[in-house]
Structure 1
């Protein structure tokens, strides 16, 4: 894993000054680094979370969010690596692996309008605008992913996702997530719109430019986002990202926070 830069610090008020424990149980979550090839190399789709949100307000992130209980519905039509394959990669139960992949697909659709599903096991929807009502119902939790896909005769394309990383929020934080990171390529014909109330803006950007914006103070990044952007920048193209061979199981990373005056330093051992 890339070493975190010394400049990567967090506001001191993110956690209580005195941590007495026990730590909050982390909630399972899924995040998807959506990528495409641009004119000058690989680009990633980034959202700036609305300032003042309870978790990571104002931070630039990839699409993602917490697992919904209904994401574990095994009735969903599925194409690609089986839930047991994903369970081995993320060192979790098959039930949780199912929920994580479904959450990754659902959250990506909710927050970017990109749908990793198609009318068959080998096809992908080319235009998602006709599903705008279903998208709103998913966001409102009036509809589950399995119900949506079944009603539209769509197959979830798990083969369009790649396992990438697993980060757990430090024990000192009051809101914690056990987040599995995925990578997916923007399907041909689709576009990412970022039409979500959780983001103040959305943009496709080369990782190197996003990192430069962070260094210049124009973006705020959490450690997992910084590391993922740095890794994508190293690879340089969608082909290289897809060819990247991750180990049989993704290593779980749980940083520690060290208070240093007005900031918190992130330490990964």
Structure 2
């Protein structure tokens, strides 16, 4: 049977842009602020083999869920990300859901002032959520949990450039890892996971031991400017919508964005270096 990708014309303009949420979990350590990272399984359709933060696409159930919520209201989130209130709710729910699915950290508690100290009792539900056998709203309601939106901060927004076969409008959040909860790699999407300072992660990339997409590189670069988690959570960054431009060059494919010279001059591997499919 012929390979569909090689025989079917690719129309970049027809690729839909899907909403996605990504959460940068941070914690203080003797070496400074550390951030939780996953290396995605090689061969995945999007960002396979690359080092990323926990996150993923918004589900329809995230938009339709009715949950107890504490923190800034939906309108505030909508203004910060420049989206409709309905999209803002879905993005926040997706951020909390994806973080739970991908590393077992759940930003929720039995009441508006608490956060779960241990998520192990919800391991079965975590698997059901990842398999899409259970909606996040139903899970929170069943367990009597309050979503702690106040533990999240909006951080950045990047859109996958025109020319990719999968495109996402990704909204970045930051959150402090809750005391007592253990971020793990018990997900089908991760080859392995680790905590690193942003500087360590960038050095890991420069030495060729990891591959970072431009948005991941940009957020690690920004996080490296902060000395403590408290400073990060107190920050109120501007959140422009960043849409990089993809183009062909003599060496492969170039992704242009504000500050891209730091990415291309940094010495690390670039995921598009040898591509010729645009």
TM-score by length of 1: 0.90
Distance 1:223 1:88 in 2: 25
Distance 2:12 2:205 in 1: 32
Distance 1:22 1:156 in 2: 37
Cα-Cα RMSD: 1.5
Q: Which runs of 4+ in 1 moved over 3 A?
A: 18-21
Structure 1 equivalent of residue 242 of structure 2: 253
Structure 2 equivalent of residue 15 of structure 1: none
Structure 2 equivalent of residue 268 of structure 1: 257
Q: Alpha-carbon deviation of 1:19? A: 7.2
Contact 1:19/1:172 (<8 A) preserved = no
Gaps of 5+ in 2: 1-8, 259-278
Structure 2 equivalent of residue 181 of structure 1: 172
Q: Alpha-carbon deviation of 1:202? A: 0.2
Structure 2 equivalent of residue 155 of structure 1: 146
Residues 2-41 of structure 1: matches in 2 within 5 Å?
21-41=12-32
Structure 1 equivalent of residue 182 of structure 2: 191
In the alignment, structure 1 residue 89 sits paired with structure 2 residue 75 = no
In the alignment, structure 1 residue 132 sits paired with structure 2 residue 123 = yes
- Alignment CA distance shift 1:113-1:20 (3 Å): closer
Distance 1:76 1:21 in 2: 37
Distance 1:33 1:75 in 2: 25
Q: 2:217 aligns with which of 226, 231, 249?
A: 226
Q: Alpha-carbon deviation of 1:23? A: 4.5
Residues 38-187 of structure 1: matches in 2 within 5 Å?
38-187=29-178
Contact 2:157/2:171 (<8 A) preserved = yes
In the alignment, structure 1 residue 215 sits paired with structure 2 residue 200 = no
TM-score by length of 2: 0.87
Distance 1:72 1:216 in 2: 41
- Alignment CA distance shift 1:21-1:115 (3 Å): closer
Gaps of 5+ in 1: 1-17
